[in-house]
Amino acid sequence: MAMLVLLLAVIIGGLLFFAVLYNRLVSLKQQFTNAWAQIEVQLKRRYDLIPNLVEVAKGYMAHEKQTLENVIKARTQATQAVSIKDKAQAENLITSSLRSLFAVAENYPNLKADQTMLKLQEELTTTENRISFARQYYNDQVMLYNTAVKSIPTNFVAQLANFKETESFEIEDVAQRQAPSVKF
Amino acid sequence: MPYSFFEIERRKNWSIGALFIFLISIYFLTFYILWWGMRFVLNLQTIRFGLAEYLNLFILAFAVGGAHWFFTQHNLIEKILNLLQAKPLDPRDKYHQVFGNIVEEVSAASGGVKFEAYCLVTSALNAFSLADFNDRKIIGVTEGLLAKLNRRQLEAVVAHEVAHILSGDCLSATVSSSLFELYDAALDSLRSLFHNRSPLKSRGGRGQGIVWLYLIFAFCVLFLVRGLSYLVNIFTSRQREYRADTVAARLIRDPLSLAEALYILSRGWRGAGLSGDRLATIFIANPRQNVLDERQGLFADMFSTHPPLSCRIDHMLFLAGQDIKSLESMASAATPVRVITPLIANVVPDARWFLLNPMQAWEGPFNLTQLGGLNYFRPDNWVRPENSSKVRIAYEEKELLTYFRKEDQADGKIISCPNGHGCMGEAEYEGAHLRICPVCAGIALKREDMMRLLLRREAAFNEETIKNAKKILDDSKTIPQKEKLIRTQLKILCPYCRNKMSRQFFNWTEVLDSTFTHDLALWGIFDLLCLPIDLCLTCSTYWLDQKKLEILQYIYEEHKSKLYGG
């Protein structure tokens, strides 16, 4: 009888322990899913901003057709990307194309003084910063989740309940870690 | 790592519970001291003080403390914002737009927690955060700080305030500040009552004596409770500022920016107005600038709300792997200047009307701009459209009704040049929004806008402005103060409220905080400048003739750099 009670206690204890660990993994997963949703909101904001930016620049930079087309192309590619890896690559492309655009824009003083462009510049700066901070928060949450998935004893629960490691939203090189700098 | 929701709730419950117990305890202690005092004064030492008396005192303390708690916590944030005279951001002001964006950026870094941004109309350098039980979270900065810090530094300051909110100690700071601010206000009222006895003069004899006795009793209670409430600083550990700095550095991954911001704060005046100074715990740096602030040790830890700024700077520099020299070179560099944008002209309607003047004679035809310039033009005037013989009341004309409706709005209304040059244009100057006459280049601006513009650094001054400013400074020293005080009034009409404006010499104390103007006086800049301006005493609108704003900016910036090193 004592053995039976002990066995029952171990089973109930084990189940409770499993539930606690399972809930922790669910909570961590929810947190990084929510963090990803935050990134997507900011990315959408940037996608909406780019056509306006190109439209304003077009009025002054008639001879820089290729540069403007590259920005639009990068935006289209980014909107079509599905996986985190593809999105990260597309975002890198947008950042570099915007950097080229602003480098060229330095040669157009009228564009630099344009009111709409100045407004868009502030919008773009804040959007880039928000993306950067949202990505940082997402990566923090992913790191917490991945650590839980790999560590003992949560890794046993993760294997049983099919919690898999997820990838962080990384950018390629250190130079690109900074938002495109615009000096108007 | 970011604080989890449960961790925040746990901390919140613990600290708020402790505060409530503390409040009951100080009331209990106060009543106990008063009881002993009364026994001594009334010679009642023979009366026994047993368990029942203690219980009665406790019930009394609980009832008074509970009522006090309920009263101060109701509509908590609104009360504090009113006390601080904090204002929501002006959506047309560029600096405010940037600050609003920065708050949103740091919100993204904290996982999307939403904050409301506010601004204090003062030239001091400080920032604060507030939180209440309804999950409202406020982050505010002073106009002085907005003008002084660059984007990175401002981001660091906002991150520091976000860290306070996320850790939950902002809520306890807000609650404790509001709890004990009540005593200060009540003590001030009683002091003023004692000072000027007019409310009690009409009473006489015994009645007056009883009222005085009650007032003295109330004063004693408040004085004791206020004294004991200083012990609340024990709950507001100085360590919380170090923790918030560290979390801020982690949130924005940039400890150097926070070190720079704190360094700038340490070199400026940090006051937040007379009322704001009482709420020291909600600010990034102590607005009271207590001597204990820069000291260490048990006594300073217990009774000072903020740790030494020098230690906080060192801590951030350590995290950034930098030394103090990097900050000194940063401070000597000029503050980035925002773009100055040109005048935007208003669209003026083409329609014209004849107007029946107060002498019952028809005048005109006038367009809307010209009508706006007439001081007797009102909604109930008789008007006649140019191409019609039908006479109507002004508000029956659609365009005129629209005009009057716009007049009623606080912003965006059509206003006319007081010199009779018609409709004034809108302009954006150093990020602020102002009204400028396209003909005479006169500028109409409110007191707040004037302060903002003075605080913000001008790109460059031309030779003529510098020459005129120097002449005005010389004149200000030579003309006797008595002569300066004379106001020649009734010159022109206020473009906003149409009341008669007062022509007077420019007075720094009417625009800037008194502490700063005192500093200016020490450097030979007097309260009054020998620069005539027009001021509407009804709505605090300034009318400055061409170039006068630049002259004021030059004088302010030149002497500010002498005072605070740029």
Tell me: the pLDDT tens digits for A118-154? 788 888 889 988 998 999 999 999 999 999 999 988 8
Per-residue confidence (pLDDT) for residue B351, from 0 to 100: 74
Mean pLDDT value across chain A: 83
**Which amino acid is located at B527 in the chain?**
D
Q: Is B363 a catalytic residue?
A: no
Query: How many other β-carbons are positioned within 10 Å of the β-carbon of residue B213?
Result: 10
Identify the residue among A133, A144, A184 best suited for mutation to test binding to B, counting B beta carbons within 10 A and taking the highest: A133
Strands across the sheet containing B362-367? B362-367, B352-356, B382-385, B392-393
Nearest residue of chain A to residue B95 (CA atoms): A122
Q: Average pLDDT in the A96-120 region?
A: 79
Residue B290 CA to residue B303 CA, distance in Å, equals: 10
Q: Residue B163 — pLDDT band, cuts 50, 70, 90? A: very high
Residue B449 CA to residue B433 CA, distance in Å, equals: 8
Selection from B557, B195, B496 nearest residue B372 by Cα? B496
Cα angle at B173 between B172 and B176, to 5 degrees? 80
Residue A92 CA to residue A89 CA, distance in Å, equals: 5
Q: DSSP 3-state assignment of B514?
A: helix
Q: Residue B520 — pLDDT band, cuts 50, 70, 90? A: low
Q: What is the DSSP letter of B527?
A: S
Q: How far is A102 from chain B (nearest CA, A)?
A: 17
Which chain A residues touch B102 with a CB distance below 8 Å? 126
Q: Is A110 in the B-facing interface, judged by CB distances under 8 Å?
A: no
Which chain A residues touch B151 with a CB distance below 8 Å? 125
Question: What would the two tokens of residue A143 be?
Answer: 């790191």
Residue B486 CA to residue B481 CA, distance in Å, equals: 9
Question: What would the two tokens of residue A85 be?
Answer: 């890896």
For residues A181 and A102, the answer to whether their CB atoms sit within 8 Å is yes
Checking if the pLDDT of B169 tops 60, the result is: yes
List Cα–Cα distances, B321 to A84, B100, B242, B258, in angstroms: 34, 30, 17, 13
The predicted-structure confidence for A40-59, as pLDDT tens digits, reads as follows 888 888 888 888 888 888 77
Q: Average pLDDT in the A60-83 region?
A: 82
Checking if the pLDDT of B27 tops 90, the result is: no
Q: Average pLDDT in the B340-354 region?
A: 52
Selection from B398, B454, B437 nearest residue B543 by Cα? B437
Q: How far is A1 from chain B (nearest CA, A)?
A: 41
Q: Residue B347 — pLDDT band, cuts 50, 70, 90? A: very low
Q: Residue B521 — pLDDT band, cuts 50, 70, 90? A: low
Helix/strand number for chain B, H first, E second: 22, 16
Checking if the pLDDT of A26 tops 90, the result is: yes
Per-residue confidence (pLDDT) for residue B140, from 0 to 100: 94
Residue B80 is inside which H or E element, if any?
A: helix B76-84
More confident residue, B93 or B420: B93
Q: Average pLDDT in the B57-77 region?
A: 86
Q: Average pLDDT in the B366-382 region?
A: 73
Q: Residue B373 — pLDDT band, cuts 50, 70, 90? A: low
Peptide bond into B385 cis (omega under 30): no
Which chain A residues touch B115 with a CB distance below 8 Å? none
For residues B306 and B282, the answer to whether their CB atoms sit within 8 Å is no
Q: What is the DSSP letter of B75?
A: T
For residues B523 and B546, the answer to whether their CB atoms sit within 8 Å is no
Residue B344 CA to residue A57 CA, distance in Å, equals: 21
Q: Lowest mean pLDDT: which of A12-26, B27-41, B395-409, B455-469?
A: B395-409
Mean pLDDT value across chain B: 77
For residues B451 and B517, the answer to whether their CB atoms sit within 8 Å is no
Would you call A2 exposed, middle or buried from its count of C-beta atoms within 10 A (0-12, 13-18, 19+)? exposed
Interface of A with B in 122-141 (CB under 8 A): 122, 125-126, 129-131, 133-134, 136-137, 140-141
> Considering CB atoms only, which of B1, B104, B108 is closest to A140?
B1
Per-residue confidence (pLDDT) for residue B486, from 0 to 100: 55
List Cα–Cα distances, B413 to A37, A170, B341, B422, B424, in angstroms: 41, 50, 20, 14, 10
Which chain A residues touch B94 with a CB distance below 8 Å? 122
List Cα–Cα distances, A88 to A84, A116, B111, B369, in angstroms: 6, 29, 19, 56
Per-residue confidence (pLDDT) for residue B160, from 0 to 100: 94
The predicted-structure confidence for B216-262, as pLDDT tens digits, reads as follows 777 777 777 766 666 665 556 677 888 899 999 988 888 999 999 99
φ, ψ at B331 (rounded to 5°): -65, -30
The answer to whether ipTM exceeds 0.90 is: no
Per-residue confidence (pLDDT) for residue B410, from 0 to 100: 43
> Considering CB atoms only, which of B101, B109, B155 is closest to A122?
B101
Q: Lowest mean pLDDT: which of A81-85, B12-16, B88-92, B358-362?
A: B12-16
Per-residue confidence (pLDDT) for residue B14, from 0 to 100: 72
Residue A87 CA to residue B221 CA, distance in Å, equals: 66
List Cα–Cα distances, B544 to B75, B368, B375, B408, B445, in angstroms: 40, 24, 20, 24, 8
Q: Lowest mean pLDDT: which of A23-32, B97-106, B370-379?
A: B370-379
Checking if the pLDDT of A10 tops 90, the result is: yes
Residue B431 CA to residue B443 CA, distance in Å, equals: 15
Per-residue confidence (pLDDT) for residue B84, from 0 to 100: 84
Under an 8 Å CB criterion, which residues of B touch A? 1-2, 94, 97-98, 101-102, 104-106, 108-112, 151, 155, 251-253, 339, 341
Selection from B314, B332, B556, B534 nearest residue B453 by Cα? B556
For residues B137 and B113, the answer to whether their CB atoms sit within 8 Å is yes
User: Cα-atom radius of gyration of chain A, to the nearest Å?
Assistant: 24
Chain mean position to CA B487: 28
Question: What would the two tokens of residue B453 be?
Answer: 């513009």
The predicted-structure confidence for B291-301, as pLDDT tens digits, reads as follows 777 777 777 77
Q: Give long-range contacts, CB 8 A cutoff, 24+ apart: A40-45.
A: A41/A134, A42/A127, A42/A130, A42/A131, A42/A134, A42/B108, A43/A78, A43/A87, A43/A91, A43/A131, A45/A127, A45/A130
Checking if the pLDDT of B141 tops 90, the result is: yes
Q: Please spell the DSSP secondary structure of chain A, one letter per residue.
A: -HHHHHHHHHHHHHHHHHHHHHHHHHHHHHHHHHHHHHHHHHHHHHHHHHHHHHHHHHHH-TT-HHHHHHHHHHHHHHHH--SHHHHHHHHHHHHHHHHHHHHHHTT-HHHHH-HHHHHHHHHHHHHHHHHHHHHHHHHHHHHHHHHHHHSTTHHHHHHHTT---------S-GGGGSPPP---
Of B7, B9, B155, B161, the active-site residue reads B161
Per-residue confidence (pLDDT) for residue B156, from 0 to 100: 94
Taking each helix axis from N to C end, the angle separating B169-195 and B76-84, rounded to the nearest 10 degrees, works out to 60
φ, ψ at B442 (rounded to 5°): -70, 150
Residue B424 CA to residue B454 CA, distance in Å, equals: 22
The predicted-structure confidence for B254-285, as pLDDT tens digits, reads as follows 899 999 999 988 877 776 655 555 678 888 88
Identify the residue among B94, B104, B105 best suited for mutation to test binding to A, counting A beta carbons within 10 A and taking the highest: B105
For residues A83 and A32, the answer to whether their CB atoms sit within 8 Å is no
User: Cα-atom radius of gyration of chain B, to the nearest Å?
Assistant: 29
Contact B1 A118 (CB under 8 A): no
Per-residue confidence (pLDDT) for residue B340, from 0 to 100: 43
Contact B111 A115 (CB under 8 A): no
Question: What would the two tokens of residue B200 be?
Answer: 């009690």
Q: DSSP alpha helices (H): ranges in B230-272? A: 239-252, 255-266
Chain mean position to CA B146: 12
Per-residue confidence (pLDDT) for residue A138, from 0 to 100: 92
**Which amino acid is located at A170 in the chain?**
E
Checking if the pLDDT of A20 tops 70, the result is: yes
Cα angle at B65 between B59 and B70, to 5 degrees? 125
